[in-house]
Amino acid sequence: HGRCHVENRDFDFIIVGGGTAGLAVATQLSRALPYECVLVIEAGPDGRDEPKIYVPGLRGSTLGGVYDWVLPTVPQAAANGRTIPHNRGKVLGGTSALNLLVWNRATVKEFDAWEELGNPGWGWKNMYPAMLKAENFQRQDGIAQYGNDGVGYGGPVQVSLVENPPAHVQACIPTLGNLGLENNLESLNGHSIGAEYQPAMHRVSNHTRSYSVDYLPRAGDNLVIMFNSTVHKVNLDYDWRGTKATGVTLVGGKEIKAKKEVILSGGSLLSPKILELSGIGQKAVLSKAGIRQIVDLPGVGENLQDHLRIQTSYELKPEIPGLDVLKYNTTRAAIELDLWRRSQTSLYQYSGSCYGFLKWKQAIGNDEKLLRLAHQSVDWSNPVDRKKLSLLTDAYSGAPDLEVVFGDGYIGTKGYPAKGTPGHGKNYATLLGGVQHPFSRGSVHINGPDPATKPIIDPKYLGTAFDLEATIQAAKYLRKMATTAPFKDLWVSEFDPGLSVETDAEWETYVRNNVFTFFHPLGTCAMLPKKNGGVVDPELRVYGVQSLRVVDASVIPMIVSAHIQTAIYGIAERAATIITDQYRW
Ligand SMILES: Cc1cc2nc3c(=O)[nH]c(=O)nc-3n(C[C@H](O)[C@H](O)[C@H](O)COP(=O)(O)OP(=O)(O)OC[C@H]3O[C@@H](n4cnc5c(N)ncnc54)[C@H](O)[C@@H]3O)c2cc1C
């Protein structure tokens, strides 16, 4: 078109944040509305030529670096005052450029819960096809790890099962089988309970990360991206008739107009910040920060939910090959990277893991204590809590309570042992446990009027009696997995926490010192009725403001039992359909 140019002062749509959801919604709008100009404003650089991003085996190496916002929580009282860092992508693709590649899906009843919480059209019936649109499932030769149902074809994000899992990952299905969990070959079809290999966002042709930037080749030339540009706030016009978003102001003062809409896709820890800096939010938060309130919206930055994670780790027998060798042996790492570059079998192409999803009863037998604590931990006035409780107590909900992961390499909270310390030069397997529906609910708010200041993040980890006990039970179940064949025959010693940890009190201490995040913060601009703390309506429009939507993980009303990117792509796809229907003539 040529008429849509990055130097323009006005666009039809401005998308704030070129991340996971942002690039998906922007691309789909540009295709469906070819006569409109769509601008994506991304705070970070392009990054598509960065090996640390596109080599699957280098995943994790960007955390804490230049492509990461690094947003720490405030000290978490119930986690012994520890601060837990939240990594967030500050680069094209957002957090999909930094994440650990897991591609899985939550269950039918959980998406139906979103709908039942007051959001017509957001149940499984609509979310499932929207999620499938994002993906292209690739079957590799000779891989029988997945069946047929539950995967999509023809979408931009390339997903596949990964060849040659290491021995300790291969032990997953038989070990969980010996604990009574059946192999589930179609775990992405809304019924995830079982033991399963799941796809990774991995392009088979050249073994690279596939992520939200893979939407862009499908975009029209009416889509324009502005890099290294941070939005300070949304510009609002307001009078007695109401409030309307008219564009954005960048850090540095430049203003850009949006003739139709501003769409916030800054992610769950940064979209609330943009709303608050614009004067949309809770009175007390805004006045403390010295921001004049324009729209009173108490839900902004509240309802923060996340998956609780705990892990145990095992030093592998010397004859079991592991992936930590890439950390301690630079010569071997260089050889493997060279093999990867020449498209030959390499440790750097490996990007998968194997999982179990369970109800508590399957994991621990007697779940009475946990259910009792759940009843005590619920905020009965909160519909989201009541929904979580009903999924937890319904033995037939099909919504798992516990996720376990057979991870490759050392991924404990201490970090891989430094050179010269005990444990260096060894290979490890890490088992991870995730509590799927914790009851603690936190918040994220601005810390003053300066857009350069990081937000105050308080997830209140382990903040309820249920959350603490559930995390302890998760940790104990990991030990049970580790001591079950065939996994038990692969290791020589338990590195974290160490087999001396046995009593309930010892496990509690371990959990408080090591509880971590699965990096799934969400819910901070929740799609809920306003009276229930909602920030956006079922069309993702911010209450009380015309022409302003939020499209990212912030709108998720209730956390679901899966890694959340498939749900985020589904949200972006649905948002694009909703917006297009409004503007197509
Ligand atoms: C270490 C880690 C591992 C993970 N592993 C997995 C996994 O394996 N599987 C899975 O499903 N999920 C995983 N997740 C979670 C998942 O990746 C994220 O939930 C998801 O990518 C978030 O998408 P989003 O669109 O909400 O936000 P993001 O993708 O974070 O996008 C937000 C974008 O907005 C930009 N932005 C923010 N503020 C501004 C501003 N003011 N101006 C301009 N631009 C701005 C940011 O730079 C960013 O590009 C992981 C997360 C982390 C951190």
pLDDT number for residue 408: 87
Amino acid at 485: A
| Residues 413 and 213 sit within 8 Å (Cβ to Cβ) | no
Query: Which two structure tokens, joined as six digits, stand for 353?
Result: 């893991």
Which residue of 27, 84, 92, 95 sits with most ligand 1 atoms within 8 Å of its CB, as the best mutation to test the pocket?
95
Q: Is 376 exposed, middle or buried (0-12, 13-18, 19+ CB in 10 A)?
A: exposed
The answer to whether residue 92 scores a pLDDT higher than 90 is yes
Q: How confident is the model at residue 229 (pLDDT cuts 50, 70, 90)?
A: very high
In this structure, which residue's CA is closest to atom 3 in ligand 1? 99
Does the beta carbon of 285 sit less than 6 angstroms from any atom of ligand 1?
Answer: no
The answer to whether residue 141 scores a pLDDT higher than 70 is no
Query: What spacing in Å lies between the alpha carbon of 176 and ligand 1's midpoint?
Result: 31
Q: Which atom of ligand 1 is nearest to the CA of 94?
A: 49
Residue 196 φ/ψ, nearest 5 degrees: -160, 145
Query: Which two structure tokens, joined as six digits, stand for 513?
Result: 């010192």
pLDDT number for residue 283: 98
Does the beta carbon of 352 sit less than 6 angstroms from any atom of ligand 1?
Answer: no
Which residue of 251, 519, 571 sits with most ligand 1 atoms within 8 Å of its CB, as the best mutation to test the pocket?
519
Q: Which atom of ligand 1 is nearest to the CA of 104?
A: 11
Which residue of 28, 86, 98, 99 sits with most ligand 1 atoms within 8 Å of its CB, as the best mutation to test the pocket?
99
496-551 pLDDT, tens digit per residue, is 999 999 999 999 999 999 999 999 999 999 999 999 999 999 999 999 999 999 99
Q: What percentage of residues in the chain have a pLDDT greater than 90? A: 94
251-307 pLDDT, tens digit per residue, is 999 999 999 999 999 999 999 999 999 999 999 999 999 999 999 999 999 999 999
Is 520 one of the catalytic residues?
yes
Range 173-182, long-range pairs (CB < 8 A, 24+ positions)? 173/197, 173/354, 174/485, 174/486, 175/406, 175/481, 175/484, 175/485, 175/486, 175/487, 175/488, 176/356, 176/404, 176/481, 178/484, 178/485, 179/480, 179/481, 179/484, 180/362, 181/356, 181/358, 181/362
pLDDT number for residue 142: 61
Cα distances from 192 to residues 51, 185, 187, 196, in angstroms, run 33, 9, 4, 8
Query: What spacing in Å lies between the alpha carbon of 381 and ligand 1's midpoint?
Result: 31
- ∠ at Cα 526 (520, 531), nearest 5°? 150
pLDDT number for residue 165: 85
Q: Coil, strand or helix: which one is 467?
A: helix
H/E stretch holding 20 reads helix 20-32
How many angstroms separate the CA atoms of 160 and 179, rounded?
27
Q: pTM for the complete prediction?
A: 0.98
Q: What one-character-per-residue DSSP string does 528-545 give?
A: S-GGGT-SB-TT-BBTT-
The average pLDDT across 213-219 equals 98
In sequence order, which ranges of 441-564 are alpha helices (DSSP H)?
465-482, 504-514
Per-residue HEC secondary structure of 82-141 comes to ECCEECCECCCCHHHHCCCCECCCCCHHHHHHHHHCCCCCCCHHHHHHHHHHCEEEECCC
In whole numbers, what is the pLDDT of the chain averaged over residues?
96
How many angstroms separate the CA atoms of 534 and 253, rounded?
30
- Torsion sign (Cα): 532, 538, 541, 545: negative
Q: Which atom of ligand 1 is nearest to the CA of 200?
A: 8
The answer to whether residue 55 scores a pLDDT higher than 80 is yes
351-362 pLDDT, tens digit per residue, is 888 999 999 999
pLDDT number for residue 162: 79
Does the beta carbon of 41 sit less than 6 angstroms from any atom of ligand 1?
Answer: yes
Residue (of 267, 120, 145) closest to 198 by Cα position: 145
Does the beta carbon of 43 sit less than 6 angstroms from any atom of ligand 1?
Answer: yes
How many angstroms separate the CA atoms of 447 and 453, rounded?
7
How many angstroms separate the CA atoms of 493 and 491, rounded?
6
Does the beta carbon of 59 sit less than 6 angstroms from any atom of ligand 1?
Answer: no
Cα distances from 100 to residues 56, 65, 466, in angstroms, run 8, 15, 28
Query: Which two structure tokens, joined as six digits, stand for 3?
Result: 């008429």
How many angstroms separate the CA atoms of 410 and 27, rounded?
38
Binding residues: 91, 95, 99-102, 231
Which residue of 14, 15, 16, 20 sits with most ligand 1 atoms within 8 Å of its CB, as the best mutation to test the pocket?
20
Q: What percentage of residues in the chain have a pLDDT greater than 70? A: 99
Q: What one-character-per-residue DSSP string does 147-183 give?
A: -STT---SSSEEEEPPSS--HHHHTHHHHHHHTTPPB
455-512 pLDDT, tens digit per residue, is 999 999 999 999 999 999 999 999 999 999 999 999 999 999 999 999 999 999 999 9
Query: What spacing in Å lies between the alpha carbon of 174 and ligand 1's midpoint?
Result: 34
Query: What spacing in Å lies between the alpha carbon of 42 and ligand 1's midpoint?
Result: 12
Query: What spacing in Å lies between the alpha carbon of 585 and ligand 1's midpoint?
Result: 33
Q: How confident is the model at residue 144 (pLDDT cuts 50, 70, 90)?
A: confident
Is 168 one of the catalytic residues?
no
Query: What spacing in Å lies between the alpha carbon of 379 and ligand 1's midpoint?
Result: 29
> Which entry of 86, 191, 207, 520 is annotated as an active-site residue?
520
Query: Which two structure tokens, joined as six digits, stand for 135?
Result: 């993906």
Per-residue HEC secondary structure of 339-350 comes to HHHCCCCCHHHC
The average pLDDT across 169-183 equals 96
Residue (of 351, 268, 301, 311) closest to 86 by Cα position: 268
Q: How confident is the model at residue 163 (pLDDT cuts 50, 70, 90)?
A: confident
Does the beta carbon of 520 sit less than 6 angstroms from any atom of ligand 1?
Answer: yes
Does the beta carbon of 519 sit less than 6 angstroms from any atom of ligand 1?
Answer: yes
Does the beta carbon of 511 sit less than 6 angstroms from any atom of ligand 1?
Answer: no
Query: What spacing in Å lies between the alpha carbon of 102 and ligand 1's midpoint?
Result: 14
Does the beta carbon of 42 sit less than 6 angstroms from any atom of ligand 1?
Answer: yes
Binding residues for FAD: 91, 95, 99-102, 231
How many angstroms separate the CA atoms of 459 and 466, rounded?
15
